[in-house]
Amino acid sequence: MSFLLASMIAIGVGSLFLGLLIYFSDSKNSANKIFTLFSLVVVMWIISTYLVDHPIVNEMALFWNKLNFASAISMAIVIFYFSFYFPKKSNFPTTWKILYFIISLILILLILFTNLGIEKIEFLDWGTNASSGHLFYPGLVWAIISIVGLFINIGVKYKNLDSNEKLQLKYLIYGLILSIIFGLSSSALLPIITGQYEYAKFAPVGMIFLIGFTAYAILKHQLFNIKVILTETAVGLVVLAIFIQTLSSKTIGQGLFNGIILILVIYGGYLVIKSVLREIKFRQELQMLTDQLAKANAHLKDLDKMKTEFVSLASHELLTPVSAIEGYLSMILDEHLAKVDDPKAAQYLDRIYRSSRRLARLIADMLNISRIEEGRLMVEKKDVNLNELIKQTIDELKFKAEERKQRVVFEDIANKLRDSSATPQNDNYMTYADPDKIKEVIVNIIGNSIKYSKDPGTISIHIEKAPTEKVQEIWAKIEDKVKDQPLDDQEAIKASVNEYYRQFVGKEQLLIIVKDQGIGIPKEELTKLFKKFHRVGDYSTEESQGTGLGLYISRSLVELHHGRIWADSEGRGKGSTFTFSLPDISDKEALLEIEKQVPNQKEQLKPLAKPMNEKIGEDI
């Protein structure tokens, strides 16, 4: 047997097997039915290709040629039909489908039963050579139209498929393209160029691509039922073999032994099939749940966006009247402007005033959060002298700190050096940032230190330089710790600003470190502080009322400056240390380069919202 014949038989059998497998995997599915029809046409094509050159009875040679031509065209027609149902049904008008079917049927019948397609044949020493009739080229054109239609059809529906369906379709397309190229070159191109039809007999070899790729798509991407059929077939074959062996046993003992094995194998096979079915059911359910989850997730994202927009709008509308209430109350309470005679009334008014101030602060915080999350916060960076900025902020907070018996000291090493030594080596620490935003961060941190210190103590601040790697290492450890925690707690490290802003810049970072001797923070709470609304324990006393938003806003502002913020504490009663990093001024160019890549902000940029009449640290 020649190699060509052997490979044709292999491809024919493979094609038939695949066709039947797909049919039995789901015989009600139109795509499966049409694919099976296609594989049968392929088998017909392969057989007729062989018979064209080995007609057995010479009188039949002309018919084999016609059958060969007709089945080649039919393949294109059937696969075009297939594309209407795979992987999803398309909405193509039925009338057009029927019209196409009628024309195709007439064409095939004419080719098969008249001499219009193949006119006559001549016998040559390698087989037969056919002369084309009037319908030969129209037939070819019809096949080409079908193939073009197939690709248009696939192209139109491609974008609406899910990723798995797209992948399935891709494998089918790869197989098709390779088979078509191979088939057309050997059965049309070469014969037309050389005038010899001898090469046509190689055309079926190209089917190996289509069969191979489709089989791969099916096995790899689990058209589930096929797994069951394969398992059932395998179990069936084993049972059959043992059954035959049992029947042909020579002695009773052997028969008994084989019989027992048969029963065991039947039971084992039953278990295997059952477990495969269970696994498939499980996978299908999993697939369904995954799809549902993806949909729910998309819906949640939409809702979240709507919520942010609503909060932004509502806060904006609320801030103005609340600030007005706060403003007038402060005027009533100011002895120079108004007089409240009843001390009780004055006390109540004072309470209302404090509450309205807190309310205004809360609204401003919410507004700021929505501005940050929507990328609408105006950030105006410039060269900033951190030493100066910190000193200025401390001056503004001094009064509040003294009220709570806290001493705020800035360990201004750079300036100390300048004062004490003849040759100052250390300049002030310079960064490239929006001073207002950095001030907000410092106020939040020092404000917390004042707020969460019960006994008299010292709050110390200092700046130092650290290698970027060290900061990255610290942050990686925090991320590792947080990733093991529930999803809700993971919010504490989820970026609230564009990832470009969060990129570290340069080899060194400036660290601003604030240390207090306050109430401290339990270790397990350290990473959670930076998510929205998180507050440790229960500090519902008048003094320590807060919103749990300050550190989230601080984190977002620091991240807008390519930095990170984290907290350390040895535990309750042992004080806390808050550290945040900022880039060094020397890396300004690199920083500007990165920020150029941030996608354009969609809407108008807005400054940080602050309640009217706000004095720094008022809400501490």
Residue numbers of the site for ligand ADP (CB under 6 A)? 444, 448-449, 452, 516, 518-519, 521, 529, 534-536, 546-552, 576
Cβ proximity to ligand ADP, 65 vs 517, nearer residue: 517
Cβ at position 452, least distance to ligand ADP in Å: 4
Least distance in Å: CB of 551 to ligand ADP? 3
Please give the Cα distance from 300 to 90 (Å, whole number).
30
Of the pair 87, 546, the CB lying nearest ligand ADP is at 546
Distance in Å, CB of 535 to ligand ADP, minimum: 3
Among residues 171 and 452, whose Cβ is nearest to ligand ADP?
452
DSSP 8-state class, residue 186: I
Q: Is the peptide bond before 87 cis (omega within 30 degrees of 0)?
A: yes
Least distance (Å) between residue 473 CB and ligand ADP? 24
Whole-angstrom distance, CA of residue 292 vs CA of residue 162: 13
Report the C-alpha gap between 291 and 286 in whole angstroms: 9
Nearest distance, CB of residue 373 and ligand ADP, angstroms: 16
276 vs 616 by CB, closer to ligand ADP: 616
Distance of closest approach, residue 516 Cβ to ligand ADP, in angstroms: 5
Query: To the nearest whole angstrom, how small is the minimum distance from the Cβ of residue 372 to ligand ADP?
Result: 14
* Residue nearer to ligand ADP on the CB measure, 268 or 537: 537
Tokens 């039922």, located at residue: 225
CA 20 to mean position of chain CA atoms: 37
Nearest position to ligand ADP, beta carbon: 546
Residue 605 beta carbon to ligand ADP: minimum distance, rounded to whole angstroms: 24
Q: State which residue, 190 or 492, has the beta carbon closest to ligand ADP.
A: 492
First to last CA, the chain: 95
Neighbours of 433 (CB within 10 A): 29
Residue with smaller CB distance to ligand ADP, 277 or 536 = 536
- From the CB of 613, what's the least distance to ligand ADP, in Å? 20
Question: Which residue lies nearer to ligand ADP by CB, 184 or 514?
Answer: 514
Nearer to ligand ADP, 358 or 398 (CB): 358
Query: CB of 162: closest distance to ligand ADP in angstroms?
Result: 42
Identity of the residue, 143 or 521, whose beta carbon is nearer to ligand ADP in the bound complex: 521
CB environment 110-125: b (16+ within 10 A), e (fewer) = bbeeeebbbbebeeee
d(CA 418, CA 319): 46
CA–CA separation, 45 vs 65, rounded Å? 10
- Distance (Å, whole) CA 580 – CA 514: 9
Going by C-beta distance under 8 Å and a sequence separation of 6 or more, which residues neighbour residue 602? 374, 375, 376
Answer whether 564's CB lies under 8 Å from 471's CB.
yes
Instruction: Please state the φ and ψ torsions of residue 513, each to the nearest 5 degrees.
Output: -115, 125
Nearer to ligand ADP, 214 or 517 (CB): 517
Contacts by 421-430, CB closer than 8 A, 24 or more apart: 428/385, 428/386, 428/387, 428/388, 429/385, 429/386, 429/387, 429/463, 429/465, 429/510, 429/584, 430/383, 430/384, 430/385, 430/386, 430/584, 430/585
Q: How far is the CB of 90 from ligand ADP (least distance, A)?
A: 55
Half-sphere exposure of 207 (CA within 13 A, CB side): 30
Question: To 10 degrees, the CA torsion angle through 538, 543, 548, 553?
Answer: -160
